């Protein structure tokens, strides 16, 4: 939580309610929890903006900062900040500068992207891999009852049309937008995010607008419009 100057006013920025993209309870429930916290704790009367953002987390929860891999001296990365971007980007600036000018930095090994600690990384890796497999299969087998014609204004859902799993969203003007919910990254089924009106992939976190455009990778191609 912190203050932000915006348009000549001071706003309160409140974050929280971490969850995996496309998994767990409805995003609106997360926004509601934050709203209640803002009201109860600070007496906030109006929520001006709200949004969900991606936050990359590495297997051992430490950012990757340094050479992307051995043998490519011109390829440097800084990622996996786990919500500590304002602090860790300063660390990254110092560390990458040292790498570029060939100066020793005591943190180079700690943040090195090519580090791999077998324990607990192996357990985390196995768990993440199993989770992706589970989400992949679950999306394919899910029984969908909703008919697109039942959708009200500003409502979206995964529906079945002629036996095919599709994603439908009816906008404020009543126009129906239908996409193929299969993620263009590796084929998992995206889920409707009612809080942000997006299609979110539970496998690796790609996000698409209600009409299929890519908002966040790793997917590069839009969802197919139907
Ligand atoms: S399958 Fe959707 S992000 Fe990988």
175-212 pLDDT, tens digit per residue, is 999 999 999 999 999 999 988 899 999 888 899 999 99
- The predicted pLDDT at position 98 comes to 96
DSSP labels, 120-172 = HHHHHHHHHHHHHHHHHHHHHH------GGG--TTEEEEEEETTEEEEEEE-T
- The predicted pLDDT at position 94 comes to 96
- The predicted pLDDT at position 118 comes to 54
Higher pLDDT, 96 or 141: 96
Across 1-18, average pLDDT: 90
Higher pLDDT, 70 or 51: 51
Q: How confident is the model at residue 119 (pLDDT cuts 50, 70, 90)?
A: low
Arithmetic mean of pLDDT over the chain: 87
**Main-chain dihedrals φ then ψ at residue 182, nearest 5 degrees:** -75, 120
First-to-last alpha carbon distance for the chain, in angstroms, is: 41
Cα 71 to averaged position of ligand 1 atoms, centre (Å): 29
For 120-145, what is each residue's pLDDT tens digit?
Answer: 566 666 677 777 766 666 766 676 66
Ligand 1 site, residue 223, Cβ cutoff 6 A: no
Cα 167 to averaged position of ligand 1 atoms, centre (Å): 16
For 35-55, what is each residue's pLDDT tens digit?
Answer: 999 999 999 989 999 988 878
Contact 66, 108 (CB under 8 A): yes
Ligand 1 site, residue 204, Cβ cutoff 6 A: yes
Map out the domains of the chain with their CATH numbers: 2-42 (no CATH), 64-138 (no CATH), 148-216 (2.102.10.10)
Q: What is the pTM of this model?
A: 0.71
Cα 138 to averaged position of ligand 1 atoms, centre (Å): 14
- The predicted pLDDT at position 140 comes to 65
């Amino acid at each position: 939580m912190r203050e932000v100057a915006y348009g000549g006013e001071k706003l309160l920025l409140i974050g929280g309610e971490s969850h995996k993209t496309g998994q767990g309870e409805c995003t609106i429930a997360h926004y509601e929890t934050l709203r209640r916290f803002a009201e109860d704790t600070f007496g906030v009367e109006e929520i001006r903006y709200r949004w969900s953002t991606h936050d990359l987390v590495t297997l051992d929860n430490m950012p990757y900062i340094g050479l992307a891999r051995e043998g490519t001296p011109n390829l440097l990365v800084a990622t996996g900040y786990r919500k500590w971007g304002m602090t860790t980007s300063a660390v990254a600036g110092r560390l990458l500068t040292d790498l570029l000018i060939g100066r020793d930095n005591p943190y180079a090994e700690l943040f090195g992207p090519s580090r791999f600690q077998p324990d607990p990384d192996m357990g985390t890796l196995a768990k993440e891999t199993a989770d992706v497999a589970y989400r992949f299969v679950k999306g394919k087998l899910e029984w969908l009852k909703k008919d697109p014609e039942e959708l009200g204004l500003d409502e979206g859902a995964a529906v079945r049309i002629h036996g095919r799993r599709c994603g439908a969203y009816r906008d404020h003007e009543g126009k129906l937008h239908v996409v193929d919910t299969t993620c263009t990254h590796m084929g998992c089924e995206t889920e409707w995010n009612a809080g942000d009106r997006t299609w979110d992939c539970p496998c690796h976190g790609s996000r698409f607008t209600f009409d299929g455009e890519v908002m966040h990778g790793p997917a590069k191609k839009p969802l197919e419009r139907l």
